[in-house]
């Protein structure tokens, strides 16, 4: 067992992937000598060289567009988008090319490209550095969209994403980069499939659905709720596309109450998809409407206000109270 931060776990996962397969490349802004602004790629260029860890010009569409070309030549590029709010210049390449080219080719082309996106708020950053753009991409067929919430998942999921023959958008909870955990790097027996959800806390009264940075918040909320005599189940979705429906629905059928929690605005957020699916599948098991807790329908606020914008333990518990009020 090795104690690792989430960012170090990603780093070790990529290192392992690069050792296992010489076609794996890292590319992005400042990923080389600097090791990335969050140091997620720290030391990789030193060990694998400038041809495999590529400091690119400062243009996100170029990063993803050339990664597609490298994949067409047989490489497996892992792109780093420096911050969530900077993914939009690359959105055209991601949506019109990366997502659609395999189908366009009738299966002749595979695009094993990973796009890593540090996401979410809570680090006191300036505008465009705290966003949660996942729903733009879960809406795009052809992409796989995953989000890690803890060091162990970061370590395994990044390796699984790199091995996937499909493009994967990989969301990293930037305010959790420094969380630490013990990781067993000697065995893969304990790994969970990339697209499986995990019940991270069992409970009976209500189900909290979360992914990325909000998993920790929900676990804290469940602990607090226990003190009030309420048993909450927490599911870490891990994968948003595809969604592990059986794990979700099994839980909802047992608890009858659901609160979805994400940092992204509630309006047209991923929670809407979850609420709709749960209602379709579990209508007669529900004791209350599926409730959503998330960001407001505003642009991400200045950092002095972000604690009010971001869902926290109290807002989650407030929603739980409402779910029990039906």
Partner 1 sequence: MTVDASRGAADAPPELVQLLTPEGERVEHPDYDIDLTPDEVRSLYRDLVLVRRVDLEAVALQRQGELGIWASLLGQEAAQIGSGRALTDVDMAFPTYREHGVAWCRDVDPVKLLGLFRGVNHGGWDPKEHNFHLYTIVIGSQTLHAVGYAMGIQRDDATAATIVYFGDGATSQGDVNESFIWASVFNAPIVFFCQNNQWAISEPLEKQTRIPLYRRASGFGFPGIRVDGNDVFACLAVTRKALEAARTGQGPTLIEAFTYRMGAHTTTDDPTRYRVASELEAWKLKDPIERVKAYLFKNELADQAFFDSIDAEADQLGADLRRRCLAMPDPEPLDIFDHVYSEPHALIEQERAQFAAYLEGFER
Q: Which residues are catalytic?
A: 129
Asked if 280 touches partner 1 (CB under 8 A), the answer is no
Determine which residue in the list 3, 20, 43, 103 makes contact with partner 1, applying CB under 8 A.
Answer: 103
The dihedrals phi and psi of 253, each to the nearest 5 degrees, come to -65, -25
Asked if 108 touches partner 1 (CB under 8 A), the answer is yes
Determine which residue in the list 109, 126, 276, 305 makes contact with partner 1, applying CB under 8 A.
Answer: 109
Asked if 73 touches partner 1 (CB under 8 A), the answer is yes
Task: Give the separation between CA 44 and CA 30, rounded to whole angstroms.
Answer: 12
Determine which residue in the list 149, 241, 251, 255 makes contact with partner 1, applying CB under 8 A.
Answer: 241
Asked if 59 touches partner 1 (CB under 8 A), the answer is yes
Determine which residue in the list 7, 93, 150, 159 makes contact with partner 1, applying CB under 8 A.
Answer: 93
Task: Give the separation between CA 156 and CA 191, rounded to whole angstroms.
Answer: 7
Nearer residue to partner 1 within complex by CB, 260 or 293: 260
The closest alpha carbon to 151, from 312, 1, 3, belongs to 3
The closest alpha carbon to 76, from 167, 9, 12, 195, belongs to 167
Determine which residue in the list 33, 104, 128, 308 makes contact with partner 1, applying CB under 8 A.
Answer: 104
Per CB under 8 A, which region of 13-21, 85-93, 180-188, 298-306 contacts partner 1?
85-93
- Cis preceding linkage at 81, omega within 30: no
C-alpha distances out from residue 83 to 52, 80, 98, Å: 22, 9, 19
DSSP 181-213: EEE--S-STTPPPTT--EEEE--SSEEEEE-TT
Task: Name the residues that contact partner 1, by CB under 8 A.
Answer: 25, 51, 56-57, 59, 61-62, 64-75, 89, 92-93, 96-97, 100-110, 141-142, 144, 164-166, 195, 241-245
């Amino acid at each position: 067992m090795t104690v690792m931060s989430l960012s170090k776990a990603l780093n070790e996962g990529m290192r392992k992937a690069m050792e296992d397969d010489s076609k794996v490349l890292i590319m992005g802004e400042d990923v080389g000598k600097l090791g990335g602004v969050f140091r997620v790629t720290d030391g990789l260029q030193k060990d694998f060289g400038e041809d495999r860890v590529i400091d690119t010009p400062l243009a996100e569409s170029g990063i993803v567009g050339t990664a597609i070309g490298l994949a067409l030549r047989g490489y497996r590029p892992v792109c780093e988008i420096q911050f969530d709010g900077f993914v939009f210049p690359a959105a055209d390449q991601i949506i019109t090319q990366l997502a659609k080219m395999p189908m366009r080719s009738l299966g002749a082309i595979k695009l094993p490209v990973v796009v890593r996106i540090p996401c979410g708020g809570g680090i006191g950053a300036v505008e465009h550095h705290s966003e949660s753009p996942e729903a733009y991409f879960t809406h795009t067929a052809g992409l796989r969209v995953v989000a890690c919430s803890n060091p162990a998942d970061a370590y395994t999921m990044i390796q699984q994403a790199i091995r996937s023959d499909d493009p994967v958008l990989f969301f990293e909870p930037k305010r959790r980069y420094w969380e630490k955990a013990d990781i067993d790097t000697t065995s893969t027996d304990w790994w969970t499939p990339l697209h499986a959800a995990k019940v991270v806390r069992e409970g009976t009264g209500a189900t909290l659905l979360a992914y990325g940075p909000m998993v920790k918040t929900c676990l804290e909320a469940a602990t607090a709720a226990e003190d009030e005599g309420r048993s909450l189940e927490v599911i870490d979705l891990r994968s948003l596309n595809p969604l592990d429906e059986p794990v979700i629905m099994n839980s909802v059928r047992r608890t009858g109450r659901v609160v979805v929690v994400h940092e992204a605005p509630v309006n047209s957020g991923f929670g809407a998809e979850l609420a709709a699916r749960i209602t379709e599948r579990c209508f007669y098991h529900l004791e209350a409407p599926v409730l959503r807790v998330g960001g407001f329908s505003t642009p991400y606020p200045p950092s002095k206000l972000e604690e009010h914008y971001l869902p926290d333990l109290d807002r989650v518990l407030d929603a739980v109270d409402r779910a029990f009020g039906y």
